[in-house]
Structure 1
């Protein structure tokens, strides 16, 4: 089974979705299951993981409702206020939804030290109890904090979104590489090969731009801890679904069929307890 481990749905709201700036105007509209389903079918992808894009329980419920109506949405990574005194009550509530499989908070927008905040970490401590994963979304200059953070939770399943957002546009790699190698040493930390094209000059990239970064990821994490994600529809600002998928498929073309199966689906199924 092939799984897209990272994509989003929304009904566009110009105030809530103000992060979608003029350079990303192409995605200033609604993106719903009816839009993604034919794309997945055309590309022989069997299902997807819907990931939060807004820090609200309202959106989490919106995604869970879509998942209940569309069987190809295999799981939902939602948002819960992990720093709240009510976090266990909320995790208990959302865990009643069969497809609620993980939590994400957009750390890239937070100040330095956020991951090490005691209240936030108290929420992270509860995720294992409910068999929930945590998606780590950060910029490359936040990876040192991520390393310090994950070592406090050896039994919690983490996945690094968008390979840690390296500066592909300026071809900076060395500092990011060192931190990725450290992070990959933790057996409970996985990585999504997603969000690559949006770290470049939109629509001016070449496949060769990504190869050095992919080499670091696969050499560090191994085929057992890497999963494909499209980051649709955000990817559309820099390339359509087929182009994004082709980057990964081209890189793994000479891998064994078993290795391809892990990267393109099995790792996501196992990681998210689907």
Structure 2
């Protein structure tokens, strides 16, 4: 398998930030997920490089998280080639100052988690203008919507057509509930927009508990491959959230099986080349 660039590596350092969203999730609650543990599970040669993804820390801690992880990324052994930092596009207060600071933190993109927020948060002109500012700076915005919110994702993508967008977790389909439709049509609508890319990540965690497998996610993977094509898909581990399924080693095995079904060139694009191009990193 082509060595992967992981575009969705979370880390959990509870002395640095609060992670209130993990409460009540046995696989995650009250646990540490440091860089050393990730490297032990991922290892070489499976994962050649990583891009840290903000971990949905408590609101007051999102800037502290990025500053701390930037320090980790500065260590040559980290294999981190960039950060996706949290931001608050819904307000102008401090927004551009944060983007300015992030230029010194090796930030290659931003995310505002939207699947736990009111639907209208991303529909304001302030939010959309501030996403366009990310594009003006030639950086990426990762979109995190539930499948029920994909029409809103389409609206945002059209309103910020100057910005490279990456849809997290294949649009969070309801795999446990067999929710192929209307997800399929909505994903095709997003794929028709040239500024939207798709992240192959998270799917196993959406399966029926105890039934996460390649067979369970295959219809969703195949549809993403068909609609976005090998040129607009990147890979992510979603570690440690992947522990809600069968863990990172299993997801690496499943990923290998998916990529083995493609041509060598297609597999290399999804595993590595698209991430390098879209996030403009050098692994």
The secondary structure found in structure 1 opposite 2:7 is strand
Flag structure 1 segments of 5+ consecutive residues without an equivalent: none
- Tell me the TM-score normalised to structure 2 length: 0.91
> For residues 66-85 of structure 1, what are the structure 2 equivalents within 5 Å?
66-69=72-75, 70-82=77-89, 83-85=91-93
- The ranges of structure 1 where at least 4 consecutive aligned residues each deviate by more than 4 angstroms after the TM superposition are none
Structure 1 residues 216 and 51: CA distance shift in structure 2, 3 A: same
> For residues 132-211 of structure 1, what are the structure 2 equivalents within 5 Å?
132-211=139-218
> Contact 2:109–2:142 at 8 Å: present in 1 too?
yes
The secondary structure found in structure 2 opposite 1:227 is strand
Moved more, 54-63 or 127-136: 54-63
- Tell me the TM-score normalised to structure 1 length: 0.94
> For residues 65-144 of structure 1, what are the structure 2 equivalents within 5 Å?
65-69=71-75, 70-82=77-89, 83-97=91-105, 99-144=106-151
> Contact 1:128–1:155 at 8 Å: present in 2 too?
yes
> Contact 1:27–1:236 at 8 Å: present in 2 too?
no
Cα distance in 2 between the residues matched to 1:225 and 1:181: 13
Cα distance in 2 between the residues matched to 1:112 and 1:267: 30
Moved more, 259-268 or 195-204: 195-204
Flag structure 2 segments of 5+ consecutive residues without an equivalent: none
Q: Does 1:10 align with 2:12?
A: yes
Q: How many residues align?
A: 273
> Contact 1:4–1:228 at 8 Å: present in 2 too?
yes
Residue by residue over 1:55-82, the C-alpha shift from the partner in whole angstroms, topping out at 9 and shown as x without a partner, is 4211111221211124401110001222
The residue aligned with 2:271 is 264
